[in-house]
């Protein structure tokens, strides 16, 4: 079992519905949350046993001010689904929505209809002024080629100029020409913390649009390539020292952006929630 952070505390039930205010780092607002919230193994680690699953998002919304929706990668959620989510969180809460899988993992296919359905689904967030951005996470097989760069250039148009952030899985995308390309098209770059494996992205923090974006996947190198990645890959708890490595990187991005979103994706048994609280605390006092 991973060691739990000494900073992790289960908040009292019945706390007020006010939005947790974003932090301010050298000007930009900094929002901190997790990648997903509906995990059965969070019960007893983040969600008290007494909180029913239907109330998990409301409970989460009293502890964090943003959420990265990952279910949208696996299925096209409806506007009604998102409208119900908005009702469960405080006003001003921010939602980042992960792009549907055909949009990122089937480049070059006839997915125009999927783009339209996905964009239409976001309308409730836009109307509530609670939309952070679209996160487009591309697979390791998405290489830095002319065809794929052309596909990226089409993304902003297909998303009707909605805020867009891309996450690459291969280090071949760490290139000044790529960063210039993203800036030209006003597409944000997702900085990642993940195992230091040869094929993966290094911890590079760069701003290529008005939005900064950081995802923490954990550093479980031994289990990264296991088939049961959902459970094993993200079983990792960051130490305070490991999180402190990112404070100057976040400050570097803050100098060129107006908002920064930080999401923890080490979701196994609530470690993401614990580490989100940890890094929020580090940013508050540093």
The DSSP line for 69-98 is E-HHHHS---HHHHHHHHHTS-TT-EEEEE
Q: 88-112: buried (b, 16+ CB within 10 Å) or exposed (e) per residue?
A: bbeeebbbbbbbbbbbbbebeeebe
Domain ranges of the chain: 23-285
Other Cβ atoms closer than 10 A to 147? 10
Mean pLDDT over residues 3-27, rounded? 60
Q: Secondary structure of the chain: what % helix, strand, coil (to 5)?
A: 40, 15, 45
The answer to whether residue 3 scores a pLDDT higher than 70 is no
| Number of C-beta neighbours around residue 196 at 10 A | 10
Average pLDDT over residues 212-226: 93
pLDDT score, position 257: 96
Determine which of 82-86, 118-122, 199-203, 216-220 has the lowest per-residue pLDDT on average: 199-203
In angstroms, rounded to a whole number, what is the distance separating the alpha carbons of residues 134 and 49?
33
CA distance 94 to 244: 24
Output the pLDDT for position 50: 96
**Tokens found for residue 25:** 């780092």
**Running DSSP on this structure, what letter comes out for residue 51?**
S
Taking only Cα atoms into account, the Rg of the chain, rounded to an integer number of angstroms, comes to 18
Give domain 23-285's CATH architecture.
Alpha-Beta Barrel (3.20)
Residue 9 confidence (pLDDT) above 80: no
Q: How confident is the model at residue 228 (pLDDT cuts 50, 70, 90)?
A: low
DSSP string for 28-47:
SEEEEEEE----GGGBTTTB
Give the pLDDT confidence score for residue 227 in this predicted structure. 64
| pLDDT at residue number 1 | 31
pLDDT one-digit tens code per residue, 146-196: 999 988 988 888 887 899 999 999 999 999 999 999 999 999 999 999 999
DSSP string, 191-204: EEE----TTSPP--
pLDDT at residue 225, as a whole number: 84
| 96: alpha, beta or left? (left if phi > 0; alpha if psi -120 to 50) | beta
CA nearest neighbour of 277 among 238, 249, 245, 250: 238
Judged against a pLDDT cut of 60, whether residue 6 lies above it is answered with no
User: Is residue 52 scored above 70 in pLDDT?
Assistant: yes
Percentage of the chain beyond pLDDT 90 is 78
pLDDT at 12 over 60: no
> In 3D, which of 44, 36, 82 has the Cα closest to residue 234?
36
Least confident of 167-176, 228-237, 247-256: 228-237
pLDDT band for position 106 (50/70/90)? Answer: confident
pLDDT range class, residue 246, cuts 50, 70, 90: very high
Tell me the pairing of strands 94-98 and 23-24. unpaired
pLDDT digits (tens, 9 = 90+) for 123-153: 999 999 999 999 999 999 999 999 999 889 8
């Amino acid at each position: 079992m991973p060691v739990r952070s000494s900073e992790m505390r289960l908040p009292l039930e019945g706390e007020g519905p006010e939005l947790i205010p974003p932090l301010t780092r050298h000007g930009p607002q900094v929002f901190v949350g997790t990648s997903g919230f509906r995990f059965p193994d969070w019960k007893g680690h983040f969600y008290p046993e007494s909180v029913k699953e239907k109330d998990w998002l409301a409970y989460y919304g009293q502890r964090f001010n943003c959420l990265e929706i990952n279910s949208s990668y696996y299925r096209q959620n409806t506007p009604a689904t998102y409208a119900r989510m908005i009702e469960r969180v405080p006003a001003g809460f921010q939602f980042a929505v992960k792009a549907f899988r055909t949009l990122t993992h089937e480049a070059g296919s006839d997915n125009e209809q999927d783009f339209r359905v996905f964009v239409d689904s976001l309308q409730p967030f836009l109307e509530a002024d609670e939309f952070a951005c679209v996160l487009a996470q591309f697979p390791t097989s998405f290489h830095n080629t002319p065809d794929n760069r052309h596909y990226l250039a089409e993304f902003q148009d297909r998303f009707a100029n909605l805020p867009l952030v891309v996450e690459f899985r291969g280090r071949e995308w760490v290139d000044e020409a790529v960063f210039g390309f993203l800036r030209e098209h006003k597409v944000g770059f997702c900085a990642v913390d993940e195992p230091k494996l040869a094929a993966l992205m290094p911890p590079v923090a760069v701003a290529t649009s008005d939005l900064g974006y950081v995802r923490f996947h954990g550093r479980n190198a031994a289990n990264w390539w296991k088939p049961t990645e959902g459970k094993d890959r993200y079983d990792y708890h960051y130490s305070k020292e490991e999180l402190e490595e990112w404070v100057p990187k976040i400050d570097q991005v803050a100098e060129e952006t107006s908002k920064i979103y930080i999401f923890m994706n080490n979701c196994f048994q609530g470690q993401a929630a614990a580490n989100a609280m940890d890094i929020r605390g580090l940013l508050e006092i540093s």
